[in-house]
Structure 1
């Protein structure tokens, strides 16, 4: 490492192929949490999530849908509120997530953002989202837009989620679902199938190695510095 004079040697290591390609992988079904961003009785973001859940189940994925009814606004309640606890437990349970929001005033809904804001970056020393997969979707009241999925991607990156390349944006959503909330055959439906297939593949591919994928040199340097500081303090005492 003579050509990397600023590297901390004990925090730097070559790529470990054994960790990237483990011989043993989990045979249990992957687990996906689906979240939607509207409280309306006829919520198209919920309909889209329910359709996505059916597709994931057909692909052999275990799914759960979080109902945001009763979830308090961030900072309006303590984190031990039952709905907050339910949401956080589901995030911890999951291997990946689907976020589906309506677009309102060119942005995601407050209901969607409130759910994401209740998910901590760290929970009891564990990062509940880091390295897990994410698929983003939006429903539009008018012509097709990508404002909301773009915003959700930013949040996914902030939460250290592996956001898959594909995404879904359903235009004129009021015309894409029947009276029972089932999605009609269309290119929009086909795209949701595409997105769920991709999410399932990425989740199964990465879930066993997600800690290794997001293991960061900069954080290893900080951890070693903190450990060294504690050792020196104990010796001084």
Structure 2
């Protein structure tokens, strides 16, 4: 078998190293988790589920921020310096992991949550606000249990180059799962939410010291090398 790789730049193709995965000191601060939810209703079950998740994350040792989407303009409906857009982007940069919780609307993710995700770019200058972050996805259902929203959130998380954890939560008949005070009742659904938040914290602790290495790519190293070579050639021609 011919094992030659004529289209590869050998100096840019690195053999993955378990040593580099263990390299460096782990950050000493608690895991920083940003939580987004997808409804503006006064009694929003995606917000109630998000707040329940936040309580669990804090008990598990995380530092949390919940973004309030009220007042966020539609994507491209305002400039990027809009205060709500800047708040969201600053929180995305601050975060090391995220939780996205959506109601299922017409078999899909809600527009409220999708707008938040659409306002977060893949890059802000040289900084990437989502790449290498961990992600947990959850949804609330108005009827029987469905997984349409969480499946779409996984696609979005992959597109945003996030490390989406295996576990997820889908709460059926969400109107029956919260009491008058907005607290989630004990149930198998609640236990699953605990599982998801516990897993998110574990994955965040595991990956955040090496997130940059995990998401480093041959194609990007090649693009950077080609750009540097082109710049050198332009300099020599002057």
TM value normalised by structure 2: 0.97
Aligned length: 237
User: In structure 1, what is the equivalent of residue 13 of structure 2?
Assistant: 12
User: In structure 1, what is the equivalent of residue 198 of structure 2?
Assistant: 197
Q: 1:24 and 1:103 mapped to 2: Cα distance?
A: 41
Q: 1:7 and 1:23 mapped to 2: Cα distance?
A: 29
Which range moved further: 8-17 or 97-106? 8-17
CA contact (8 A) 2:137 2:153 kept: yes
Q: 1:10 and 1:31 mapped to 2: Cα distance?
A: 36
Q: 1:211 and 1:43 mapped to 2: Cα distance?
A: 36
CA contact (8 A) 2:30 2:61 kept: yes
TM value normalised by structure 1: 0.98
Q: 1:235 and 1:171 mapped to 2: Cα distance?
A: 65
Which digits, 9 at most, give the CA deviation of each residue in 1:4-56, with x for residues without a partner?
22210121122233320125211210100000000011000000000000000
Q: 2:211 and 2:58 mapped to 1: Cα distance?
A: 22
Q: 2:126 and 2:27 mapped to 1: Cα distance?
A: 24
Q: 1:98 and 1:224 mapped to 2: Cα distance?
A: 35
User: In structure 2, what is the equivalent of residue 83 of structure 1?
Assistant: 84
For residue 93 of structure 1, report the CA deviation from its aligned partner: 0.3
For residue 214 of structure 1, report the CA deviation from its aligned partner: 0.5
Matched, 1:142 2:152: no
For residue 2 of structure 1, report the CA deviation from its aligned partner: 6.5
User: In structure 1, what is the equivalent of residue 172 of structure 2?
Assistant: 171
Which digits, 9 at most, give the CA deviation of each residue in 1:190-217, with x for residues without a partner?
0000000100000010001000001001
Please state whether the residue corresponding to 1:74 is helix, strand or coil.
Answer: coil
Q: 2:60 and 2:28 mapped to 1: Cα distance?
A: 14
After superposition, residues 1-237 of structure 1 pair within 5 angstroms as 3-237=4-238
CA contact (8 A) 2:24 2:209 kept: no
**Unmatched runs of 5 consecutive residues or more in structure 2:** none
Which range moved further: 117-126 or 17-26? 17-26
Q: 1:118 and 1:29 mapped to 2: Cα distance?
A: 26
CA contact (8 A) 2:37 2:101 kept: yes
Which digits, 9 at most, give the CA deviation of each residue in 1:115-159, with x for residues without a partner?
000000111221110010000000000000000000000000000
**Root mean square deviation, CA, Å:** 1.1
Q: 1:9 and 1:109 mapped to 2: Cα distance?
A: 45
